[in-house]
Amino acid sequence: MLLEIARTSKDEPLGILASLANRHGLISGATGTGKTVSLQALAQKFSNAGVPVFVADVKGDLAGIAVPGTLSEKMSARLKELALPLPTPGACPTIFWDVYGEKGHPVRSTLSELGPALLSRLMGLNDTQASVLQVLFKVADDAGLLLIDFKDVNALIKLVMENLSQFKEQYGHLSPASIGTIQRALLTLESQGTKDFFGEPAFDALDLLQNSGDGRGYVHVLAADRLLSTPVVYSTFLLWLMSELFEQLPEVGDLEKPKLVFFFDEAHLLFKDAPKALVERIEQVVRLIRSKGVGIYFVTQSPLDIPQTVLGQLSHRIQHALRAFTPQDQKAVKVVADTFRQNPEFSAETAISQLKVGEALISMLDESGAPTVVERAFVQLPGSRLGPIDSAERAAAMAASPVAGHYEKFVDRVSAFETIASRTTASAPETSAATASAPAAASHPSVLNEILFGSVGPRGGRKAGLVEKAATSAARSVASSVGREIVRGLLGSIMGGSRPSRRR
């Protein structure tokens, strides 16, 4: 099945073979050259073919995919002049999402699921501070303390800070200065509004794999205009979502069409200031997630924004105009042109700077899996609206959504904060008595003793503490560590933390 997206000057159709759409792709070009229209046209083609789509709406103008489009007389005349078919007006079944819960259904995760490495990136921690955060997550993991939101990790930090000497014996030196930096960084994150992202019910990535009653794939639109004001939060959120898909989806090999197509707009933000280890992990996910039926399409201004190890895996290319105003720009144009399989009928290097709005150099995979020679063509317009929608249209789409009402119901279940608080309250009489004879008694003795030395339940059952666990054997420690890495998937070292059970 060919998903036609453009026509050449010879009226030859250009498009993506649905069976090869999970080979990933790239839409690039300077601002104002037509990237967003190409993205929307391609997304609607996938949706009509029964493939669910995820897109981040960074400017607010992709929301129009939810309503039928209309053509002005000027646009109709322009399409006829270019010998392009007039689009059939039609909307896509759409589900709106929003981390802040304002323009779509709320999207939440837990700190345990996000993990210490991605959280460190959000907070801008250095390597030393990130390693301390990693230890804090390990303490919670070993003690069975669930970290859902900021109050959980703050409660854990307070417990560790007040008992540094005891935890030092099991986890090594924990710098009070680094812990203080982590506390301040958490406050900064909260002030940026990211606390809305942490909570339950946690977003289930499998909700993205839905089709409407008529067989079309839902287009999931993330309202990202506000989220983009903090680029690190935006890119980390999409990386987390991509990781969730990778971890939850089974291997399926090659299918007649993808299970999901994931568009990553402003893709350069994903790699900006990212450490080498993180880039390597992203490259691994991009390479391997194809076998799970997911196609990833990066959208950015220049292909040079993408690391070579990732760029080499993007088989489908839609290249809009690049402007060569400086020697550096001219060099970039040549490098980009050289990545295409050359067409003897024209110079790709010359064409890149001459492309009109809506025109692009296009190269896809043919039936044998080889890239086609580059063609110069105009991208077809989608049948949905080009531009934003009003609040009433958005509200109607949200009310008709298959997940309406589920994520709006906030759940605050027992986690680290409640566990530590309840154990502290239960030990209050004991603490008061001890204080009279021992003024230097440690704070929170009950919860600390349970974490370090274990506890005995009401029926006599014993729960081992950290000291006992550490003393069993080095081999068991190593095996447990490896086990956690396997459970957490390929991004285990990035995600960190154990996955809490979800209530649906």
What type of residue sits at position 236?
T
Reported as half-sphere exposure (CB side, CA atoms, 13 A), residue 369 has a value of 4
pLDDT (average), residues 344-360: 93
Q: How far is CA 483 from CA 139, 278, 499, in A?
A: 17, 21, 13
Q: pTM of the predicted model, to two decimals?
A: 0.84
Look at residue 497 in the predicted model and tell me its pLDDT: 43
CB atoms under 10 Å from CB of 170, counted, come to 17
Enter the tokens of residue 191: 């002030």
pLDDT at residue number 496: 42
Residue range 9-26, pLDDT digits in tens: 788 889 999 999 999 999
- pLDDT tens across 107-124, in order? 999 999 999 988 998 888
Measure the CA–CA gap between 315 and 371, rounded to whole angstroms.
7
| Percent of the chain scoring above 90 in pLDDT | 53
Q: Is 299 left (phi over 0), alpha (psi -120 to 50) or beta?
A: beta
How big, in percent rounded to 5, are the helix, strand and coil portions of the chain?
45, 15, 40
Q: What is the spatial distance between Cα 220 and Cα 222, in angstroms, rounded to a whole number?
A: 7
Directed axis angle between helix 150-162 and helix 164-171, to 10°?
100
Which pair of structure tokens corresponds to residue 435?
Answer: 């204080």
How high is the pLDDT of residue 454? 61
Please check the confidence at residue 371 and state whether its pLDDT lies above 70: yes
Is 26 within 8 Å of 361 (Cβ atoms)? no
The three-state (H, E, C) secondary structure of 459-492, written as one string = CCCEECCHHHHHHHCHHHHHHHHHHHHHHHCCCH
- pLDDT for 352 equals 94
CA distance 92 to 443: 58
In 99-196, DSSP assigns E strands to 105-106
Q: Write the CA distances from 228 to 54, 57, 98, 236, integer angstroms.
A: 16, 10, 12, 11
Residues 294 and 2 sit within 8 Å (Cβ to Cβ): no
Q: Which residues have CB under 8 Å from 370's CB, separation 6+?
A: none
CA geometry: angle 487, 489, 492, nearest 5 deg: 95
pLDDT at 332 over 50: yes
The reported pLDDT for the residue numbered 485 is 38
Range from 217-221, 440-444, 471-475 that averages highest in pLDDT? 217-221
Name the residue among 433, 389, 494 with its Cα closest to residue 57: 389
**What phi, psi does 427 have (nearest 5°)?**
-95, 5
Cα distance between residue 443 and residue 424, in whole Å? 9
Query: Is the per-residue pLDDT at 490 higher than 50?
Result: no
pLDDT in tens, 411-448: 888 999 999 888 666 555 554 444 444 444 344 555 66
pLDDT at 391 over 60: yes
- Give the C-alpha separation, 429 to 445, whole Å: 11
Region 54-66: mean pLDDT is: 93
Residue 472 scores a pLDDT above 80: no
498 has pLDDT over 70: no
Give the chain's mean pLDDT: 84
* pLDDT digit string, tens, across residues 284-318: 889 999 999 999 999 999 898 899 889 989 999 99
Query: Does the pLDDT value for residue 242 go beyond 70?
Result: yes
Q: How confident is the model at residue 276 (pLDDT cuts 50, 70, 90)?
A: confident
Question: Rg of the chain's alpha carbons, rounded to an integer?
Answer: 26
Q: Which amino acid is at 73?
A: E
